[in-house]
Every structure is written in C-alpha cells, then in structure tokens.
C-alpha cells in the first residue's frame, strides 16, 4: 500500500533481524526511512547504504532530538531492545535499563519533539504461562521472565502517556520470528546465536556438532516446548500496516501477530531434517530458565483491524527461506575470515 508521507519514519533497531526486514518493507511502499541503531546486536550491512543511518543509542537525548528534527520524523517503529529470555533471567537489571528505562527516555524525547505515533515491538512473552491457547490479547498478562516484564511495563506506560500527552501507539506482541528475505538479501544473524531455528540449521550445515533440545519434560504432547513461529516478512508487513493505521487515526492498542499454530522443538528439528535433506545429531539437555511450555497467539484482532494475514508463515516455507539465507551466508554478515578471526 503506497502511503503519501510528508515526513520520515524512524526505525530504531533497524539494523537488527526484524528491523532490517521492516526497513525493506517500508522502502517498498515508498516511505522515507531513517534508521537509528547502536549496533549492539545489529549489522550495518543489513541496512541499505542509500538511506540515512545513525549509529546512536536510543538514550542519546541530543542525537535523537536532532535526528527527529532533521528528518521531520512523523512516526516511529521501535525495535531497539535486548530480546533474549534466558539472558534476561540472568541479568534482569540490564533488561529493565535497556528495554524499559531507555524506551521511556526515548519516548520523552519524541514527545518533546511533537512525535506522537509509535509502533512498539512487544512480545508473546508478556502472557507468561497462558491459561488458554491460542492466546487472545485480553488474556491475563503475567510475564514469567524479566524480558516479558520489561516489555509489558512499556505497554502499561503507553496508556498513561496517551492520557497525558496524546501519544498514539500500537504494541505488536509477536511470537517467534523465523525465516529470511525472500530474495535472500538479508536474514538472521545474532552473535552468539541463541534462537532455535538458526541453531538447528547450523547443525545441518555442520557448523555445530548437534542440535540441542532444552527440556523434554514440558507439559506438551512430545515433552518439548511449543512456539508459534511467524515469517519475518509477514512480521515486517504487520509493522507497515500498523504505522499506516496510526497515521490514518486508528485507536491505540495491543495486537498479537502469530499464526494460531504451534510447533514443538522436536517438530522444528524434524522439519529442518526434511527440508534440508540432512540428518544430524540431536542431544537432549535441561530446560532453559524462563521458558513457558507453550506460546501460541490468536491473531484474529490484527486480521480484522489491520487486514494483516500470514502469507509465508507455514513451517516448511519459513525453514526453506532461512536455509537459503544460511547457505548463501554461512557466516551471516561477516566474511569467513572475520568469523574465524
């Protein structure tokens, strides 16, 4: 959908996995895009060299205000955050600082600069251990890890900031992002990698000795944890639709982005073996701290209000596109020499 914008859309965390795919999707609509990323976990090469890029922290007051003014920013998509469940359990202070405190500081600067529209990367982790599945947005939000709590606090703050200053916001609570750009140009590269699908693919490529299953005693049919995987290109489209909806005046709120179907760790491993045609060793080990049994999102609300639909989020398509990216870029955005250094 080609929207006519007078100003720019600022994407924080635009050099990261989901952010870079969203930047690509925004550019395809003809939007003016400016990226702010401190490159803590992102990659300069994931952002086109043709658009403005600032290696800046979201908590850098002066820089943020200058960028917003210079590029006439009218709306923000805010991805910049720490996002690892296990790390958040070990270092909760880092998560409340990086995700919660810095976001409030950042939003204060936006408001001071008269920017009042924000799409926020929330997470299915806000629900904790859901009482029903698939989870609807109205379900109780009771995170069981600091990561989920750090994001829920922002959603809660938004309602007060809206009341006081007229901030308009959409929080997208998504499940596990997977896959890569359909043209193979960008994909997932985290260091160290902790996410299930890229780790299993690395085992299929022989870059790891084995795929690991963290916990076989979950309350699920095969004993391994279940997640709702959504293609990163579908997620990017959800952000494009959300920012357009805010610009057209849609009311603030939280939306799940998912498929309504969950897959267990064992199912992921079996599908990787099937799609890649490679057999590889699998080891079973203990649970990772902070992981719930099952997270599967009901996405009826985003379909109804924003017209979003998952186009590429069936498991074989997601794994095939991630496999393609990994084969083309075995060391992600780095060269082999850099990776082995």
Ligand X SMILES: O=c1ccn([C@@H]2O[C@H](COP(=O)(O)OP(=O)(O)O[C@H]3O[C@H](CO)[C@@H](O)[C@H](O)[C@H]3O)[C@@H](O)[C@H]2O)c(=O)[nH]1
Work out whether 33 is an interface residue with ligand NAD (CB under 6 A).
no
| Residue from 8, 26, 34, 42 binding ligand NAD (CB under 6 A) | 42
The DSSP 8-state label assigned to residue 135 in this structure reads B
| Residue from 39, 89, 97, 144 binding ligand NAD (CB under 6 A) | 39
Work out whether 227 is an interface residue with ligand X (CB under 6 A).
yes
Considering only the stretches 14-22, 245-253, 299-307, 309-317, report the one whose residues sit in contact with ligand NAD under the rule CB under 6 A. 14-22
Is 115 within 8 Å of 68 (Cβ atoms)? yes
Residues in binding contact with ligand NAD, number by CB under 6 A: 28
Residue 218 known to be catalytic: no
Mark 122-138 as b/e (b = at least 16 C-beta within 10 Å): bbbbbbbebeebbbebe
Work out whether 228 is an interface residue with ligand NAD (CB under 6 A).
no
| Residue from 15, 75, 242, 295 binding ligand X (CB under 6 A) | 295
| Residue from 23, 31, 77, 85 binding ligand X (CB under 6 A) | 85
Q: 155 φ, ψ to 5°?
A: -55, -40
The DSSP 8-state label assigned to residue 258 in this structure reads S
Helix (H) or strand (E) holding 122: strand 117-123
Q: Which of residues 232-291 bind ligand X (CB under 6 A)?
A: 265, 288, 291
**Which C-beta is closer to ligand X: that of 8 or that of 83?**
83
Considering only the stretches 26-34, 43-51, 60-68, 192-200, report the one whose residues sit in contact with ligand X under the rule CB under 6 A. 192-200
Is 205 within 8 Å of 336 (Cβ atoms)? no
| Residue from 8, 47, 67, 79 binding ligand NAD (CB under 6 A) | 79
Distance, in Å, from the CA atom of 121 to the CA atom of 100, rounded to the nearest integer, reads: 12
| Residue from 95, 127, 169, 174 binding ligand NAD (CB under 6 A) | 174
Q: Let me know how long the chain is.
A: 341
Considering only the stretches 4-12, 18-26, 190-198, 238-246, report the one whose residues sit in contact with ligand X under the rule CB under 6 A. 190-198
Considering only the stretches 35-43, 211-219, 293-301, 331-339, report the one whose residues sit in contact with ligand NAD under the rule CB under 6 A. 35-43
DSSP sequence for 48-86: -TTS-EE---TT-HHHHHHHHHHTTEEEEEE--S---HH
DSSP sequence for 198-248: HHHHHHHTTSSS-EEEE-S-SSSTTSS-EE-EEEHHHHHHHHHHHHHHHHT
Distance, in Å, from the CA atom of 118 to the CA atom of 185, rounded to the nearest integer, reads: 27
Two structure tokens written together for 28: 């395809």
Q: 160 φ, ψ to 5°?
A: -75, -35
Residue of 17, 127, 147, 174 marked catalytic: 147
Residue 312 binds which entry of ligand NAD, ligand X, none, CB below 5-8 Å type-dependent: none
Catalytic residues: 147
- Residues of the shown chain interacting with ligand X in the complex, contacts defined by CB under 6 A: 83-85, 123-125, 175-176, 194-196, 199, 212-214, 225, 227, 265, 288, 291, 295
- Residues of the shown chain interacting with ligand NAD in the complex, contacts defined by CB under 6 A: 12-13, 15-19, 36-42, 57-58, 79-81, 83, 98, 102, 121, 123, 174, 176-177, 190
């Amino acid at each position: 959908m080609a929207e006519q914008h007078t100003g720019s859309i600022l994407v924080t965390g635009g050099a990261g996995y989901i952010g870079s795919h969203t930047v690509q999707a925004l550019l395809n609509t003809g939007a003016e895009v400016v990226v702010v990323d401190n490159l803590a976990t992102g990659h300069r090469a994931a952002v086109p060299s043709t658009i403005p890029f600032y290696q800046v922290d979201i908590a850098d007051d002066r820089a943020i205000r200058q960028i917003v003014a210079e590029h006439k920013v009218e709306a923000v998509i805010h991805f910049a955050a720490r996002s690892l469940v296990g790390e958040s359990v070990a270092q909760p202070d880092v998560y409340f600082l990086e995700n919660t405190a810095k976001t409030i500081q950042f939003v204060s600067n936006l408001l001071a600069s008269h920017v009042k529209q924000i799409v926020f990367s929330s997470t299915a982790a806000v629900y904790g251990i859901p009482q029903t599945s698939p989870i609807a947005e109205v379900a109780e939000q009771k995170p069981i890890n600091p990561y989920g709590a750090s994001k829920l606090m922002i959603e809660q703050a938004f309602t007060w900031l809206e009341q006081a200053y007229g901030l308009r916001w959409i929080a997208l609570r998504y499940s596990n992002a997977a896959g890569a750009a359909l043209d193979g140009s960008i994909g997932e590269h985290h260091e160290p990698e902790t996410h299930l699908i890229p780790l299993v693919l690395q085992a299929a490529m022989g870059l790891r000795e084995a795929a690991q299953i963290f916990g076989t005693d979950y309350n699920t049919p095969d004993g391994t944890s279940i997640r709702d995987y959504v293609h990163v290109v579908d997620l990017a489209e959800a952000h494009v639709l959300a920012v357009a909806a805010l610009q057209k005046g849609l009311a603030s709120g939280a939306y799940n982005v998912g498929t309504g179907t969950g897959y267990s760790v064992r199912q992921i491993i079996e599908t990787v073996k099937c799609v890649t045609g490679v057999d590889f060793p699998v080891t079973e080990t203990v649970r990772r701290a902070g992981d719930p049994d099952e997270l599967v999102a009901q996405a009826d609300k985003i379909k109804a209000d924003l017209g979003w639909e998952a186009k590429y989020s069936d498991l074989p398509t997601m794994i095939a596109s991630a496999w393609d990216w990994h084969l083309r870029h075995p060391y992600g955005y780095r060269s082999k020499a850099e990776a082995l250094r």
